[in-house]
Structure 1
Amino acid sequence: MPVVIQQAKHVSGTNITSPKGFKAVGIHCGLKHKKYDLAVLLSEVPASVAGVFTTNAIQAAPLIVTKEAVQNGKMQAVIINSGNANACTGKQGMLDALTMQEKTAEKFGLETKLVGVASTGVIGEKLKMEPLLKGIEQLDPVDSLEGSIQFSQAILTTDTVMKNTVYRMEVDGKEVMIAGTAKGSGMIEPNMATMLGFITTDAEIDSVHLQDALQKVTDVTFNSITVDGDTSTNDMVLVLANGMAGNSSLTPSHPDWDVFLQTMHAVAQDLAKMIASDGEGATKLIEVEVNGALTDLEARKIAKTVVGSPLVKTAVFGCDANWGRIIAAVGYSGASVDPAGISIKIGQTVVVEDGEPVIFSEEQLLLYLKQPEVKIFVGLNKGSGQGIAWGCDLTYDYVQINASYRT
């Protein structure tokens, strides 16, 4: 469902370093031909950290290194490269990820265990460590819009746009900010998929409660998007909370806990929708909202099945109001449904009611399907479960992009 925040405000013109005490930068070190390919995010002080990671059984070396670092509960820097995933690279890949961690720690005078590592790009090729290590020495993170833009650009692969969002709220009467940036365009079928997400906040919160908050919002945001059904080897979302806003520590019993949770939800949902709408070759964002399921979990399962259906995605691309593909996806979702209780609406046009087809204007719906955002509503009349998922259409360009990704 749409996020409603009573005490938080979206802030335009701000960035990943807007929360107090964070700096960032991105540079070109030589992993890519010309574009930025190395970035660092740095907190002035050790920050509480939380992370969620891919469920693929094949996990890249940097992800393994970062998962271990997150277990310590504190992180102060994250080093990220694009252009090479350092995945399926054996013992050398693990040594390279550890070297990235160690050299970043040395560069900024940190304990090694306080550094996270992330990589994205081609799988199965060893990192070019010489230019990468030289690049680490050149990193000079700053608290500025320019540094944040460079950071956002340096983590991209096949993305066509940067993905950034920031919200402001009050905790204990003090201003607290939560900012996020992400990359992701293809192989998006989280839990987690080929995406990197970095969220910063100056709120004071213990890592245990931060992890709980991140897990809650991940289930209904990042884990509710799909581009192509593929789950990658690398990707993660990390949240760093450095406490520099000066609030009393947030816990579930804190009076402002719900505001914090809703605000983090808004940040994650913004990033998730940006990733879905920037799917490789995509021309439209598809949003599927399900009501009346037995449970929220079943509603999300149905929504994600519909938005992930190749036939639904191609129908939306072709502006074809073929609701049969939608109801078929509902049926094979694995959730409990009663065919006689299903209703479907595309935009504001009802096409199915109580399991029966409804006469509608093809011309009117064609005009709606030409819009850049298409919303599909499914009612089940089985219970009170609600869920929402996002995806994109499937286009000729998707095939072209992925047919020549390495070349």
Structure 2
Amino acid sequence: MIVSQKANVTVIETGHVTSAEGFYAGGVHCGLRRKKLDFGWIYSDVPAAAAGVYTQNTFQAAPLKVTQDSIASSGKIQAIVTNSANANACTGKIGMENAEIMRSQAAGQMGIEPKHTAILSTGLIGVQLPMATIEKGIQSINVHADEPESFEQAILTTDTVTKHTAVQTEVDGKTITIGGAAKGSGMIHPNMATMLAYMTTDAAVDQAALHRLLKEATDHTYNMITVDGDSSTNDTVLALANGKQGNTALDESHPDWDSFKAAFFLVSELLAKKIARDGEGATKLIEVSVTGAASSTSARRVAKAVISSNLVKTAVYGADPNWGRVVCAVGYSEEPVDPDTVDVYLGDIQVVEDGLPSDFSEAEGTAYLEQEQVKVIVDLKQGEAEATAWGCDLTYDYVKINASYRT
């Protein structure tokens, strides 16, 4: 059922990572976790053009490196295999060997080449993969399983909900679909969090153009969210385009590129916002929009500074319209801001005008911040550029969850 429309892009209410033609997914419990699903896969009928964006954390996990190797070898991926509960990060030579074994065995189970197989892991850092348990999961792979919900459950760690979406648009007169799934709740502050995102499309896309598009979309969406300021060792966004709709391969010169780009950006934005809203212990989604910036880079940096402020996040949790915390974050963003021109709004309520406090009702400000979704607008009045960032409030439960993560 169609529930919303943006330009010529349609959002599908029941959309999943397998909504695009030729993609299948499934998930099982193999024993990495006590009861919950912990091993999943996505499979394409044919090798798909692939692109990835990865964490910039110096401690990159072994599966991430193996996936980079797969994409670099041919530019195509046919299957992604993922486990939760164990990140296979900071595991040295043995961890790399296990990641390569996992790729090889999964490829053999699915009848595809190892170079067309990506693997991702998420969970506890510094613990070797129990390979007998991983092998049990691999042996459960059914490449034509049509169970995206099971996959979306299998990749979760401290998440409270699954995160998925799909959209459609027109390319060469054909209806093409872009689907997506993601996990992430804590350690979210991507420069490319423990955050994994998977995007699939049945459009044909030039591999180099897909990489450029994913990088741009990531900068404007996944890299504009934060929960707690921590970047993990395993953060990855992968995009697969299998071309099943038979359109002329898309790149920036294609007449329908703008429509495809809008759809791709929308999937990225919807998944990013779902991650932000599901922050560990969160009760509210916060959106920070910066307008009137001198450049897009400046707008993004100011927005990220505000959304990352623990003082802003705790003020929203406590429904305290403390605008001083917002302007403070703007000021330490290291962007050239004129303090005498800045306006700040909480929703429609102006709380700062030209750097000075406005005459507003504290009661109305408090009432607004008690809503589940809160929007902060910062107008710098220095140019035409703008950017948006998303995050969540910081609550007592965040401390409780992370104080006992290993127990």
Q: Report TM bin, short chain.
A: over 0.9
Retained in 1: the 8 A contact 2:5–2:11?
no
Retained in 2: the 8 A contact 1:301–1:333?
yes
Q: How does 1:13-24 map to 2 (within 5 A)?
A: 13-24=14-25
Q: CA deviation at 1:285?
A: 0.5
Q: Secondary structure of 2:159's match?
A: coil
Which residue, 118, 136, 139 being the options, matches 2:138? 136
Q: How does 1:39-118 map to 2 (within 5 A)?
A: 39-71=40-72, 72-118=74-120
Letter in 2 for 1:14: G
Which residue, 129, 141, 155 being the options, matches 1:127? 129
CA distance 1:231–1:85, change in 2 (3 Å): same
Query: 1 CA distance for matches of 2:60 and 2:305?
Result: 25
Query: 2 CA distance for matches of 1:78 and 1:311?
Result: 39
Aligned to 2:372: 372
Q: Secondary structure of 1:329's match?
A: helix
Retained in 1: the 8 A contact 2:307–2:390?
yes
Aligned to 1:250: 250
1:175-211 per-position Cα deviation (integer Å, ceiling 9, x unaligned): 1000000000001010112100000000001210100
Q: CA deviation at 1:132?
A: 1.1
Q: Secondary structure of 2:340's match?
A: helix
Q: Secondary structure of 1:131's match?
A: helix
Query: 1 CA distance for matches of 2:134 and 2:177?
Result: 32
Query: 2 CA distance for matches of 1:19 and 1:131?
Result: 31
CA distance 1:243–1:143, change in 2 (3 Å): farther
Letter in 1 for 2:347: G
Aligned to 1:259: 259
Query: 2 CA distance for matches of 1:297 and 1:255?
Result: 28
Letter in 2 for 1:82: S
Q: Secondary structure of 2:118's match?
A: strand
Q: CA deviation at 1:6?
A: 2.1
Q: CA deviation at 1:131?
A: 1.4
Q: Secondary structure of 1:15's match?
A: coil
1:228-247 per-position Cα deviation (integer Å, ceiling 9, x unaligned): 11111011000000000111
Query: 1 CA distance for matches of 2:378 and 2:168?
Result: 33
Moved more, 127-136 or 280-289: 127-136
TM superposition score normalised by structure 2: 0.98
User: Which structure 2 segments of 5+ residues have no match?
Assistant: none
Retained in 2: the 8 A contact 1:17–1:143?
no
Moved more, 326-335 or 361-370: 361-370
Percent same amino acid at aligned positions?
53
Letter in 1 for 2:18: T
Q: CA deviation at 1:4?
A: 8.5
Aligned to 2:286: 286
Letter in 1 for 2:137: G
Q: Secondary structure of 2:102's match?
A: helix
TM superposition score normalised by structure 1: 0.98
Query: 1 CA distance for matches of 2:386 and 2:59?
Result: 32
Query: 2 CA distance for matches of 1:346 and 1:104?
Result: 50
Q: How does 1:19-30 map to 2 (within 5 A)?
A: 19-30=20-31
Letter in 1 for 2:57: N
Q: Secondary structure of 2:178's match?
A: strand
Q: How does 1:195-206 map to 2 (within 5 A)?
A: 195-206=195-206
Q: Runs of 4 or more off by more than 4 Å in structure 1?
A: none
Aligned to 2:156: 156
Letter in 1 for 2:196: L
Aligned to 2:317: 317
Q: How does 1:187-202 map to 2 (within 5 A)?
A: 187-202=187-202
Q: CA deviation at 1:18?
A: 1.1
Query: 2 CA distance for matches of 1:78 and 1:183?
Result: 15
Moved more, 45-54 or 63-72: 63-72
User: Which structure 1 segments of 5+ residues have no match?
Assistant: none
Q: Secondary structure of 2:226's match?
A: coil
1:10-49 per-position Cα deviation (integer Å, ceiling 9, x unaligned): 0111311111111100000000000000001000000000
Moved more, 84-93 or 356-365: 356-365
Retained in 2: the 8 A contact 1:163–1:182?
yes
CA distance 1:256–1:267, change in 2 (3 Å): same
CA distance 1:396–1:312, change in 2 (3 Å): same
Q: CA deviation at 1:143?
A: 5.4
Q: Secondary structure of 1:200's match?
A: strand
Retained in 1: the 8 A contact 2:110–2:141?
no
Q: CA deviation at 1:103?
A: 0.4
Q: Does 1:169 align with 2:190?
A: no
Q: How does 1:349-368 map to 2 (within 5 A)?
A: 349-368=349-368
Letter in 1 for 2:116: L
Q: Secondary structure of 1:42's match?
A: strand
Q: Secondary structure of 1:340's match?
A: coil
Q: CA deviation at 1:119?
A: 0.1
Query: 1 CA distance for matches of 2:252 and 2:129?
Result: 42
Retained in 1: the 8 A contact 2:64–2:119?
yes
Aligned to 2:401: 401
Query: 2 CA distance for matches of 1:224 and 1:187?
Result: 14
Letter in 1 for 2:35: K
Q: How does 1:206-355 map to 2 (within 5 A)?
A: 206-355=206-355
1:99-152 per-position Cα deviation (integer Å, ceiling 9, x unaligned): 1100011001111100001000000011111011011111114453xx100000
Aligned residues: 403
Letter in 2 for 1:88: C
> CA-atom RMSD, angstroms?
1.1
Query: 1 CA distance for matches of 2:307 and 2:5?
Result: 23
